[in-house]
Amino acid sequence: MSNMRDEDVLSCPVCGEDYLHHFGVEIFRRDCEDSKTGTRIAVFGESAPIMDGDVSKCPSPRRDGIKIAFWCEICTSYSVMLIYQHKGRTFKEWEEKSE
């Protein structure tokens, strides 16, 4: 394993604690840049993987993206980290909750 450093630990976007557990991931691959078609692979917990063509919830409006679902051991909230490409750069952010 690589050098694990405290500054590399993810913190919960709700409470700020760092006891997060990932439990699911979605990977979005567009057929080409700006394409409305592509492939989505989703794996959550012990459920069977899902593979379909729904790229409508890809975090990038133009390229590929990843969503990682977490739950916090401290505040028990659920959060989703987005990793996506745009104009040659890769971004990471927490998905905003819709109330």
pLDDT digits (tens, 9 = 90+) for 30-47: 999 889 999 999 999 888
pLDDT tens readout for residues 46-95: 889 999 999 999 999 899 999 999 999 999 999 999 999 888 899 999 99
pLDDT tens readout for residues 16-30: 999 999 999 999 999
- The confidence score (pLDDT) of residue 3 equals 73
41-67 as b/e: b if 16+ CB within 10 A: ebeeeeeeeeeeeebeebbbeebbbbb
SS3 for 8? helix
- The confidence score (pLDDT) of residue 12 equals 96
- Break the chain into its structural domains and give their ranges: 16-87
Instruction: Give the model's confidence band at 15: pLDDT under 50 very low, under 70 low, under 90 confident, else very high.
Output: very high
